[in-house]
Amino acid sequence: MAKHIPGPLYYEQFGATGTPMIFCHSTPDDHRLWMFQTAHFSPWYRCLAVDLAGYGRSPAPQKGLTIADMADACWEVVDKVTSGGAIIHGNSLGSRVAQYMAATQPKRTIALILSGIGFGTSDNMKRWAARYRDEGLALRQRQVIEHFAPELQSNPLLQHYAKMVCALSNVGTLESIITVNEALALHYPPDLLAKITSPTLIIAGTKDFSFATVHQHDTHMPGSTLKTIEGAGHGVPIEAPEQYDQACVEFLTRLGLHPGPTV
């Protein structure tokens, strides 16, 4: 069992066969961030959409949680369906978890797809933890909406998504979000990204608040591929699902990993 997580993560499986494909969401979302991707890719892959610790139906994390603990818990989900490898998707918090997954088990990481990611400092996460202490759980829905590009924040579908996700709050949600933000505020081990050897795609919305540093990907993750999506923000998988999915299909097709159609 992963440290600081008192029980297995909740996940939903879409697709009964094929290469495992695990999806790790951003904070303060849950596994439903990936509803379009799991629907799209499940005919060809065994899609595992995870609620990270403290979100959705997963157990609340304990103090002292690290992103490495979260990565271990996600590998435990993969272990339920295979002792082999998986394609890993991660958005924002999930992208950090995905990086740890890839760094700690490189031989099992078939491909890595990251979004909502930049290469700046993590100091902002301390401020988010403090805001949640001051403002309480009502901040959650505002944060979900603020992840979207400004022009998309009033979109009725995305507004509905934010309300739907935030309606599900387990007993530990507020303290869980604070604990996870504190874990995100911890700095990377200096050699973490150098341990990632899998093919890596970075998908970035041009309206993402972390976009300013995403072009440093070649420095931080040599050999990674960057795909930008015009007008999308931090929650690109649900803001621009068609463009996100197409970027994934093109990437996986180049690797010989996509058995379905290319459009």
Residue 190 scores a pLDDT above 90: no
Whole domain around residue 47: which residue ranges?
Answer: 11-254
Element (H, E) at 90: strand 86-91
Q: Give the lowest-confidence range in 98-102, 122-126, 177-181, 255-259.
A: 122-126
Locus of tokens 């979004």:
115
Q: Kindly give, in sequence order, each residue whose CB lies less than 8 Å from that of residue 105, ignoring residues fewer than 6 positions away.
A: 75
pTM to 2 decimal places: 0.97
d(CA 66, CA 46): 27
Q: Are 179 and 93 in contact (CB under 8 A)?
A: no
Indicate if the alpha-carbon torsion angle 37, 41, 42, 45 is positive or negative: negative
Q: Are 29 and 55 in contact (CB under 8 A)?
A: yes
Q: Which residue has the higher pLDDT, 15 or 120?
A: 15
Burial 179-213 (b: 16+ CB within 10 A, else e): bbbbbbbeeeeeebbeebebbbbbbbbebbebbee
Mean pLDDT over all residues of the chain?
95
Q: Which amino acid is at 72?
A: D
Element (H, E) at 242: helix 241-254
Locus of tokens 């540093």:
213
Percent of the chain exceeding pLDDT 70 equals 99
Residue 128 scores a pLDDT above 60: yes
Backbone angles phi, psi at 89, to 5 degrees: -105, 140
Q: Report the 10 Å Cβ neighbour count for 94.
A: 31
Residue 160 domain-assigned?
A: yes
Residue 84 domain-assigned?
A: yes
Give the chain's length: 263
**Is 226 exposed, middle or buried, given 0-12, 13-18 or 19+ CB atoms closer than 10 A?**
middle
Backbone angles phi, psi at 205, to 5 degrees: -80, 140
Beta-bridge partners for 18? none
pLDDT of residue 170: 64
Residue 5 domain-assigned?
A: no
Q: Are 94 and 180 in contact (CB under 8 A)?
A: no
Residue 163 domain-assigned?
A: yes
pLDDT of residue 172: 66
Residue 106 domain-assigned?
A: yes
Query: Largest Cα–Cα distance in the chain?
Result: 49
Residue 1 domain-assigned?
A: no
Locus of tokens 């009964």:
16
Q: How far apart are the first and last CA of the chain?
A: 40
Residue 2 domain-assigned?
A: no
pLDDT of residue 179: 95
Locus of tokens 């709050």:
169
Where residue 60 sits, what CATH number does that domain have?
3.40.50.1820
Residue 177 domain-assigned?
A: yes
Q: Which two tokens stand for residue 228?
A: 């930008």
The total number of structural domains that make up the chain? 1
